[in-house]
């Protein structure tokens, strides 16, 4: 069986990186940043950055914020804030004994992605790693990649957003949604994933 993993929010906790990038970008444009708890709660409900900041999405101020945010999100200093979720390594070790694992993620900077994966010692678990700029549609991107690799109805897509579940549905394969990342449990339920779990460590407790 092939398992197609998402990275951010699925295997690694990105909440600190997202928050401190928000804090820095807000400071530069002269806006007050939210507390970590407030920011992450809004982010997980898919509230847009401009509404989090309470500014017009077409304003020059917000465009400057977005430019700074994009430049910092994949900066190695900020990437160093990411940490693997608890029991990720044990889970991946167990899964590689029976299944073929692939990683599909939205990143602009492939070099920094590979550096981070090596530093976190996550690169060794995957047969192949795919990255695509986040301004592209993740659902379409995943579908194209998986079609090119070949798949069966028994394969899995595992991720923390609605895009992962939607890609699985369009391909006719199973979806596992985790609410450890950038979407809440109640948000993900609306998309009816085949399996909904707290985090990837629960994969070993269910029959795949």
Kindly report, residue by residue over 4-25, the tens digit of the pLDDT: 999 999 999 999 999 999 999 9
Beta-carbon count within 10 A of 47 CB: 12
C-alpha to C-alpha distances, 37 to 19, 181, 197, nearest whole angstrom: 9, 14, 22
* Residue 109 pLDDT: 95
- Rounded to the nearest 5 degrees, what angle is found at the Cα of 38, between the Cα atoms of 32 and 39? 70
Q: Within 13 Å, how many C-alpha atoms sit on residue 41's CB side?
A: 5
Whole-model pTM: value is 0.93
Burial of 6 (0-12, 13-18, 19+ CB in 10 A): buried
Where the chain has pLDDT below 70, the residues are: none
Bridge partners of 171, per DSSP, are none
* Residue 132 pLDDT: 86
Bridge partners of 104, per DSSP, are 130
* Residue 205 pLDDT: 86
Instruction: Give, for 176, the enclosing helix (H) or strand (E).
Output: strand 174-178
d(CA 171, CA 153) in angstroms, rounded, equals 8
Structural Rg of the chain based on CA atoms: 17
* Residue 208 pLDDT: 72
Dihedral angle at the C-alpha atoms of 188, 186, 84, 154, nearest 10 degrees? -40
d(CA 142, CA 137) in angstroms, rounded, equals 9
* Residue 171 pLDDT: 97
* Residue 136 pLDDT: 76
Q: Within 13 Å, how many C-alpha atoms sit on residue 180's CB side?
A: 25
């Amino acid at each position: 069986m092939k398992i197609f993993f998402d990275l951010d929010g699925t295997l690694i906790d990105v909440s600190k990186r997202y928050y401190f990038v928000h804090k820095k970008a807000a400071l530069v444009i002269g806006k007050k940043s939210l507390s970590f708890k407030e920011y992450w709660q809004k982010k997980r409900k898919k509230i847009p950055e401009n509404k989090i900041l309470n500014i017009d999405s077409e304003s020059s101020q917000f465009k400057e914020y977005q430019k700074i945010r994009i430049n910092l999100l994949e900066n190695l200093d900020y990437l160093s804030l990411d940490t693997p979720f608890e029991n990720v390594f044990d889970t991946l070790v167990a899964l590689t004994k029976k299944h073929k694992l692939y990683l599909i993620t939205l990143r602009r900077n492939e070099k920094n992605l590979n550096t981070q994966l090596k530093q976190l010692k996550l690169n060794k678990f995957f047969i192949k790693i795919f990255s695509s700029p986040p301004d592209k549609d993740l659902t379409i991107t995943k579908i194209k990649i998986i079609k090119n690799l070949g798949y069966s109805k028994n394969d899995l897509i595992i991720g923390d957003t609605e895009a992962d579940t939607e890609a699985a549905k369009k391909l006719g394969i199973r979806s596992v949604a985790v609410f450890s990342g950038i979407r809440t449990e109640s948000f993900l339920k609306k998309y009816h994933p085949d399996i909904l779990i707290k985090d990837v460590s629960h994969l070993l407790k269910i029959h795949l």
